[in-house]
Amino acid sequence: MPNVQLPTGASIYYEEHGSGYPVLLFALGGMDSRIEFWYQAPWNPIEALSPHFRVIAMDQRNAHRSFAPMVVTDWGTMAADQVALLDALGIERAHVMGGCIGSSYCLRIIQEAPARISAAILQNPIGLDGGNFDGFRGMFESAARTVEQGGAQAMVVAAMENDRFQQNTPGGLWAARIKADQAFRDEVLAMQPAGIATVHRETSAAFFDRSDFVFSVTRDFVRTCPAPLLVLAGHDDFHPTATAKEIAALAPDATYVEDWAAPELRPQTIATAVAFLQRHTPGA
């Protein structure tokens, strides 16, 4: 599939699989949320859901094949991309599913466009638990210091070596576009280092410093969430079990599954997910 240019300023790469009622997927991977990570997940919704639904998988802006300008980015920016992609595909209403950070994308798009989302699966939802997100803040700070100390050239050199931000933070959040797009690379080289550093620090603050709980929405919103939720709990520092339990306890219509990721549980997990989405498909 080619990239689609959206009115948000992002060029988004997406793939479609199967047919029927649409399900829009937001991949795991933190700021590198890209389609390929679904193939490394405990179960792959592209393969599992496409026999039953029209599955649309996307690289989020600044991840792999989706590009955007170097501007301060926040949860609302990402939701605007996601809604604009639905618009571009002529989709009025859809289910959503997210893994890891994708769970927070799900909750934010429900808040931004409640009439567009019929149900959501949250797999391994992220959440604030002590200082567990200091590592994410540190990645942005590493990028900012790289450009302050070595100039834009240092960031470009790092991005050309490895365009995966979470593996190679000196390349910055826009590393994938720097590596793939000569014109953008030249644009970055002409930027002032202080401006590049500021964009990274303010983006970090917008994602992780100015909120709590699941970062993208508040507890008050989850208490009124209009979409039914299937919550597949996480069990580590970045995906705290306590966060999944709290989402399920707060939401008006939520189904909570504690154990789902083990290989022997995969068939039951898939059956649960398919049945949940079919149950909440309009007109079903």
Three-state SS for 31-46 is HHCCHHHHHHCCCCHH
pLDDT top residue among 107 and 209: 107
Asked if the model's pLDDT at residue 275 lies above 90, the reply is: yes
Q: How confident is the model at residue 255 (pLDDT cuts 50, 70, 90)?
A: very high
Residue 164: alpha-carbon gap to chain centroid: 15
According to the model, what pLDDT value does residue 212 have? 78
User: pLDDT digits over 109-165, tens only?
Assistant: 999 999 999 999 999 999 988 766 777 888 999 999 999 999 999 999 999 999 999
φ, ψ of residue 147 in degrees (nearest 5): -75, -30
User: pLDDT digits over 211-254, tens only?
Assistant: 779 999 999 999 999 999 999 999 998 899 999 999 999 999 99
Residue 237 Cα distances to 41, 126, 133, 257, 280, angstroms: 17, 9, 9, 18, 31
According to the model, what pLDDT value does residue 1 have? 64
**pTM over cut 0.75:** yes
Asked if the model's pLDDT at residue 191 lies above 90, the reply is: yes
What the chain holds in terms of domains, given with CATH numbers, is 3-128+212-279 (3.40.50.1820), 134-209 (no CATH)
According to the model, what pLDDT value does residue 278 have? 98
- The percentage of residues in the chain with a pLDDT greater than 90, rounded to a whole number, is 92
- Both tokens of 112, joined, read 């931004």
**26-45 mean pLDDT:** 96
User: pLDDT digits over 68-108, tens only?
Assistant: 999 999 999 999 999 999 999 999 999 999 999 999 999 99
According to the model, what pLDDT value does residue 237 have? 87
| CA angle in degrees (0–180, nearest 5) for 113-70-132 | 70
